[in-house]
Copies of this chain bind each other. A is one copy, B any other.
Amino acid sequence: MLTVKEAATQLNMSEHTIRYYTDQGLVPSVQRDKNNHRIFDQSALNWLQGCHNLRLTGMSIENVKHYVDLCLQGKKTIPERYQLIEVQYQHAQQQLKDAQNRIRFLERKKQLYEAELNSDSADVLNPDTWPNIKVCPNKTK
């Protein structure tokens, strides 16, 4: 049985977020002790973790809540739940690709900077370090 703080440490979430999720009804199995403090068993931790994962794939709090509610309604909602998971799975795949693209982008930048840093001829301008720099006003006054 863990406190908010312990759960936050274990799941790598902020205490604020955990309270927020429980208040939103995303964690059906959370209990309170005699001091009205939230206490988390393994089931509650699993819900938290699951909801967090769904959030991180771009599902809104509202839709996560809907999914949780479906779970509570029993096996008859499995087809709909499967659909929802499938959609988020596609999102997650896209996120993976996006992350890979960003890594490539940053790797290229790093390499350009490394080349600049190691070059003795500090005056040779590498025009590709960043595209043509042409300053101009952004706002019309």
Q: Name A93-141 residues within 8 Å CB distance of B.
A: 93, 95-96, 98-103, 105-107, 109-110, 113-114, 116-117, 122, 125, 129-136, 138-140
> Interface of chain A, helix or strand or loop or mixed?
helix
- Asked if residues B96 and A99 are in contact (CB atoms below 8 Å), the reply is yes
- Asked if residues A131 and B46 are in contact (CB atoms below 8 Å), the reply is yes
- Asked if residues B132 and A82 are in contact (CB atoms below 8 Å), the reply is no
- Asked if residues B96 and A56 are in contact (CB atoms below 8 Å), the reply is no
Chain B residues closer than 8 Å to A135, beta-carbon distance:
28-29, 72
Residue numbers of A with Cβ under 8 A of B are 22-23, 25, 27-32, 36, 42-43, 46-47, 50, 53, 56-57, 71-72, 75, 78-79, 81-82, 85-86, 88-89, 92-93, 95-96, 98-103, 105-107, 109-110, 113-114, 116-117, 122, 125, 129-136, 138-140
One of B29, B98, B132 near A132 (C-beta < 8 A): B29
With A82-B110, A103-B93, A106-B92 given, is the CB distance from A23 to B53 under 8 Å? Answer: no
19 more contacts with CB within 8 A, not counting A36-B140, A56-B98, A78-B116, are A22-B138, A29-B132, A42-B131, A46-B130, A47-B131, A53-B101, A53-B106, A71-B130, A71-B133, A75-B122, A78-B113, A78-B117, A86-B110, A89-B106, A92-B99, A93-B103, A95-B95, A96-B96, A96-B100
